[in-house]
Chain A
Amino acid sequence: MAIVTTSKKACSVNPLKMSQPIGGSFAFLGLRGAMPLLHGPQGCTSFGLTLFVRHFNEAVPMQTTAMSEVATVLGGHENLEQAILNIYDRLEPEIIGINSTGVTETNGDDVEAFIRLIRQKHPKLEKLPLVYVSTPDFKDAFQDGWGKTVARMIEMLVAPVDAARPRDISRVNVLPGCHLTPGDLDELRTIFEDFGLKPSFLPDVAGSLDGHIPDEFTPTTIGGIGVDEIATMGQVGWTIAIGAQMRRAAEAMQVRTGAPFRLFERLCGLIPNDEFIAFLSQISGRSVPWKYRRQRGQLADAMLDAHFHIGGRKLAIGAEPDLLFDLSSLLHEMGAQVSAAVTTTNSPVLQRVRTEDVLIGDLEDLEELARSRDCDLLMSHSHGRQAASRLNVPFFRVGFPMFDRLGAAHLTMVGYRGTRDLIFDIANLIITDREANHGPTPDTWRSSCGGPQVHPPQLH
């Protein structure tokens, strides 16, 4: 059981953490026709937007209430009203998703009340869903903002169900954590469909940020789950939540609609996927398709081939709690040793990370731990690149943001197939590093033999 501690430094150096409001906006980006709106100064939106654009290489819709110093003094009611009206009139969104920021939270803006007043004043907004979530910058982290926002979407948008009405057991709700990529969601969709199940993903960033080319230019999100479909999510047989961050949302769904849920904390690795596939077989009443039996075999074989390389590696990993838990567990199950683990925010899974201590800290902490504990594999988002080059160890990019490599949206880690490919990628990285940096030389083992080198006398 890992001991969880928080860094005591006054100055965070090379932050691992990103802010809560943009985690919230990210969740809204998984809705069709959506416009995420940050209630705060324009910089909050601009930084978040740039981050998403660099990660996905996609146009990303995101707006701001553009709070100025004066507006902050006067309160944000008028700015919020103008922002909503401007977005409504110009962009015709299907939904506006509002997150608060540090400034408006410090100010104490009562946004729910503002929205009620705005609705009273502008009857034309009657049909437009406005979902507001409180997400101050100075608390929690990216994945918390996502989790809270999805929970709030459920409370606001899922229609109550008639308890007497039978459920549609062929339908399932899927509540993915923010660590799942569009590629992960597409993989899951295929798996559900192979069991004859019809999944509703909330949010569905695969619909909006998978990089497809729409026929027409759309100023809002170009895909994702529609508000109409969300409304019907109470009718399903099961809700499946992925990642501990989604417990709050899954519980909200159960409270609102009575739909039972099952939380999968991990979907990467052999045993977690065995549990997942077995569960799908049970709820669908179908035997496991041949395809997945084969994929399971392929994963097993990948583990056999890769354990030579991954086994014994000393991993230093920096990631948000759910991703950290999933990946470090996989590496542990492949024989690696989780030597340094740094994360961004608290979570019940942290105690179960297979290491001695987990630090809520930054990438400077991770770099120092990795150095002092002699780690030889580093995993984090792209910001870990500087640490990796200073440590001169192989660096595997995971999570958000990944701004210096292409294809972040399609990196797939879930399912037997996703795990298989991930294992190959990690093993190949290690092999490349060994070939490039650790080839044997006549002196490789010399110093470790102890004793001074004896030079035989020359004959002539």
Chain B
Amino acid sequence: MTSLSTTIQDVFNEPGCARNASKSSVERKNGCTKQLKPGGVAGGCAFDGAKVALQPFTDVAHLVHGPIACEGNSWDNRGSASSGSELWRRSFTTDMSETDIVFGGEKRLYRAVKEITEKYDPQAIFVYQTCVPAMIGDDIDAVCKAASAKLGKPIIPINAPGFVGSKNLGNKLAGEALLEHVIGTEEPDYTTAYDINIIGEYNLSGELWQVKPLLDELGIRILSCISGDGKYREVAYSHRAKAAMMVCSKAMINVARKMRQRYGIPFFEGSFYGIEDSSDSLRQIARMLIERGAPAELMERTQALIAREETKAWAAIERFKPRFAAKRVVLITGGVKSWSMVSALQEAGLEIVGTSVKKSTKKDKERIKELMGQHAHMIEDMSPQEIYKMLKDAKADIMLSGGKSQFVALKAAMPWLDINQERCHAYMGYIGIVKLMEEIEKALYNPIWNQLRQAAPWDEFDRKRQARTVAQMYAQAAEPVRDASKNGVNTISLSNENEASGGESAIAAHGLNLAKPCTSSTARCVACKDIRSDFQPPALQAAE
């Protein structure tokens, strides 16, 4: 068993990562996560990343060992879809108390595992380490090992306490846990020449099911999806797949690469976002399966299916062309996902005026230039203020991004569409891209924008009135002879004797004393005598 710090070093040293490969050896040692800047970040922690990556396993109980914050503040927050068990949506946490921290939380953790086994009897329990138990030295590996032996069930430690790094690191540490404890521990009932793994796909909004029918039609079996709509047993025997597709390249590359190394499963990086990428991915899958022994006719069938689906999709997109003419899009997303969408968006007539390249490598940037032309605005790292200004100045017609910048766009009265994990629509495959176009059209042409961009009518009145007042002031300044009665010098009193004394009696009635009554019993408040036109707000006045 390796220590957490060795695992982290190992993960940082990922040879399969294109970005990592382009670094010097010193840079590589520093890891792929940017040094966190106190007061200047808002991203998720390693625990968050690990949970996000593994939570879509549906028949597993996910137990978070830590104080209430880690799970209580975050559970049931992802839109993965399940075709079977709903266990994954239940939340389990040890909710550590002060006593646990003083005396150690291991016993409580063991009891928690036992309770879950008795009540829910899951296929497996994933135990997530968090910062506080890591600090006080709770050994979750040991507890899990002991509990596994005693309860006869896989109890898997996921060692990614939040403070070791970013969400992305957490994704990879989750992958390491699968490699170390799960993958290769069971055998499938049968295998076929058409078995694949899909790695790094979370089935958000059920989007995998937009593609699965096509794979079904080709006779390709998803032996295991890590982790969308996944089942524990499927991951455990995923080492018997013939080929693998890695979907979200930055998240789980270590899993794909080590499975190639250990079990000889070839993999490719692909995506089902956008028409061309979908077709490429299907072709790649077919090619790899044929290389691993599937009959060559698979490619013909795949090509035929691609041709049919592409024709359908392009035809569906055709109708958006007039609606999208001269509409400009800003695309802000985690890099990789954006390319595959770009060509489809462009084909539909949208102009991409900017895209984020924060997480992209040099090669990525070249590809973006190739796709979008030399003038494409590459946004390295834009502050919300800058984005807001860009949108407010109407340099774009719609923004596609993740939830983080949602309100920046919306508050600038700018159409916006969520294309990250929190979204509620599925955009995968040939169906998904057309769905995306539909959503863009709906957003662009919603009648609210014209209404919201109009100022309230009184804003105009107010401006005119102000202009009049200023004009009067100048007129008066030019006319020095003043008529006091017309110049607003009045004697007014703002105090209300009745109100004041009423208040006092209430205080007296409740048995409390005021330091000193505000008003004397005389009819008029002394402080309020002869208040001139520059009258004070009543609050100040009464306080005097």
A residues engaging B (CB < 8 A)?
Answer: 9-15, 17-19, 21-22, 37, 40-51, 53-54, 57-59, 62-69, 71-72, 79-80, 82-87, 90, 101-103, 106-107, 136-139, 141, 163-171, 196, 198, 213-214, 217, 219, 235, 237-238, 258, 260, 262, 279, 282-286, 383, 386, 403
User: Is A18 a contact of B68 with CB atoms below 8 Å?
Assistant: yes
Residue B467, interface by CB 8 Å = no
Residue B163, interface by CB 8 Å = yes
User: Is A68 a contact of B500 with CB atoms below 8 Å?
Assistant: no
Q: Which of A12, A69, A139, A279 makes the CB contact (< 8 A) with B164?
A: A69
Given known A-B contacts A138-B98, A164-B516, A19 and B505 have beta carbons under 8 A apart: no
User: Min CB distance, B85 to chain A, in Å?
Assistant: 13
User: Is A10 a contact of B94 with CB atoms below 8 Å?
Assistant: yes
User: Is B165 a contact of A10 with CB atoms below 8 Å?
Assistant: no
Q: Which of B46, B67, B515 makes the CB contact (< 8 A) with A19?
A: B67
User: Which chain A residues border B132 with CB–CB below 8 Å?
Assistant: 102-103, 106, 137-138
**Which parts of B299-340 form the interface with A (CB within 8 Å)?**
none
Q: For the complex, give the distance between the alpha carbons of A164 and B544 in Å.
A: 11
8 intermolecular pairs with C-beta atoms under 8 Å apart:
A13-B119, A59-B408, A90-B39, A166-B543, A167-B515, A168-B518, A258-B515, A283-B506
**Which parts of B485-544 form the interface with A (CB within 8 Å)?**
496, 498-507, 509-510, 512, 514-518, 538-539, 542-543
User: Is A64 a contact of B38 with CB atoms below 8 Å?
Assistant: yes
User: Which chain A residues border B413 with CB–CB below 8 Å?
Assistant: 213
User: Is A196 a contact of B73 with CB atoms below 8 Å?
Assistant: no
Q: For the complex, give the distance between the alpha carbons of A34 and B134 in Å.
A: 32
User: Min CB distance, B141 to chain A, in Å?
Assistant: 17
User: Is B69 a contact of A46 with CB atoms below 8 Å?
Assistant: no
**Which parts of B251-299 form the interface with A (CB within 8 Å)?**
none
Residue B136, interface by CB 8 Å = yes
User: Min CB distance, B393 to chain A, in Å?
Assistant: 12
Give the A-B contact count at a CB cut-off of 8 A. Answer: 279
Q: Which of A87, A136, A138, A217 makes the CB contact (< 8 A) with B384?
A: A217
User: Min CB distance, A326 to chain B, in Å?
Assistant: 22
**Which parts of B22-56 form the interface with A (CB within 8 Å)?**
36-48
User: Which chain B residues border A238 with CB–CB below 8 Å?
Assistant: 507
Q: Which of A12, A15, A41, A214 makes the CB contact (< 8 A) with B163?
A: A41
Q: Which of B42, B93, B96, B112 makes the CB contact (< 8 A) with A63?
A: B42
User: Which chain B residues border A44 with CB–CB below 8 Å?
Assistant: 45, 69, 162
Q: For the complex, give the distance between the alpha carbons of A51 and B96 in Å.
A: 21
User: Is B408 a contact of A165 with CB atoms below 8 Å?
Assistant: no
User: Min CB distance, A306 to chain B, in Å?
Assistant: 31
Residue B72, interface by CB 8 Å = yes
User: Which chain B residues border A69 with CB–CB below 8 Å?
Assistant: 134, 161, 163-164
Given known A-B contacts A66-B36, A213-B411, A285-B505, A22 and B42 have beta carbons under 8 A apart: no
Tell me whether chain A's interface is mostly helix, strand or loop, or mixed: mixed
Residue B212, interface by CB 8 Å = no
Q: For the complex, give the distance between the alpha carbons of A136 and B66 in Å.
A: 12
Q: For the complex, give the distance between the alpha carbons of A238 and B502 in Å.
A: 13
User: Which chain A residues border B472 with CB–CB below 8 Å?
Assistant: none
Q: Pick the most buried of B44, B73, B384, B500: most chain A CB atoms within 10 A of its CB.
A: B73
User: Which chain A residues border B41 with CB–CB below 8 Å?
Assistant: 42, 64, 66
User: Which chain B residues border A107 with CB–CB below 8 Å?
Assistant: 135
Q: Which of B95, B119, B408 makes the CB contact (< 8 A) with A17?
A: B95
User: Is B38 a contact of A169 with CB atoms below 8 Å?
Assistant: no
Stretch of B74-82, B180-188, B194-202 with 4 or more beta carbons under 8 angstroms from chain A: B74-82
Q: For the complex, give the distance between the alpha carbons of A148 and B403 in Å.
A: 31
Given known A-B contacts A42-B43, A59-B407, A138-B98, A68 and B510 have beta carbons under 8 A apart: no
Residue B115, interface by CB 8 Å = yes
User: Is B44 a contact of A42 with CB atoms below 8 Å?
Assistant: yes
User: Is A59 a contact of B411 with CB atoms below 8 Å?
Assistant: yes
Q: Which of A63, A198, A283 makes the CB contact (< 8 A) with B539?
A: A198
User: Which chain B residues border A79 with CB–CB below 8 Å?
Assistant: 38
Residue B464, interface by CB 8 Å = no
Q: Pick the most buried of B67, B134, B385: most chain A CB atoms within 10 A of its CB.
A: B67
User: Min CB distance, B493 to chain A, in Å?
Assistant: 14
Residue ID in chain B nearest A212 by CB atoms: B411
Q: Which of A62, A64, A85, A285 makes the CB contact (< 8 A) with B498?
A: A285
Residue ID in chain B nearest A235 by CB atoms: B543
User: Which chain B residues border A139 with CB–CB below 8 Å?
Assistant: 97-98
Q: Which of B98, B385, B501 makes the CB contact (< 8 A) with A285?
A: B501
User: Is B111 a contact of A50 with CB atoms below 8 Å?
Assistant: no
Q: For the complex, give the distance between the alpha carbons of A208 and B243 in Å.
A: 52
User: Is A217 a contact of B89 with CB atoms below 8 Å?
Assistant: no
Residue ID in chain A nearest B405 by CB atoms: A59
Q: For the complex, give the distance between the alpha carbons of A282 and B502 in Å.
A: 7
Residue B222, interface by CB 8 Å = no
Given known A-B contacts A15-B72, A41-B131, A106-B135, A83 and B38 have beta carbons under 8 A apart: yes
Q: For the complex, give the distance between the alpha carbons of A443 and B47 in Å.
A: 53
User: Is A260 a contact of B539 with CB atoms below 8 Å?
Assistant: no
User: Is A43 a contact of B70 with CB atoms below 8 Å?
Assistant: yes
User: Min CB distance, A257 to chain B, in Å?
Assistant: 10
Q: Which of B48, B100, B411 makes the CB contact (< 8 A) with A217?
A: B411
Residue ID in chain A nearest B46 by CB atoms: A43
User: Which chain B residues border A46 with CB–CB below 8 Å?
Assistant: 42-45, 48
Q: For the complex, give the distance between the alpha carbons of A191 and B342 in Å.
A: 54
User: Is B45 a contact of A43 with CB atoms below 8 Å?
Assistant: yes
Q: Pick the most buried of B38, B72, B132: most chain A CB atoms within 10 A of its CB.
A: B38
Q: For the complex, give the distance between the alpha carbons of A49 and B135 in Å.
A: 24
User: Is A11 a contact of B43 with CB atoms below 8 Å?
Assistant: no
Q: Which of A21, A63, A170, A214 makes the CB contact (< 8 A) with B538?
A: A170
Residue B11, interface by CB 8 Å = no
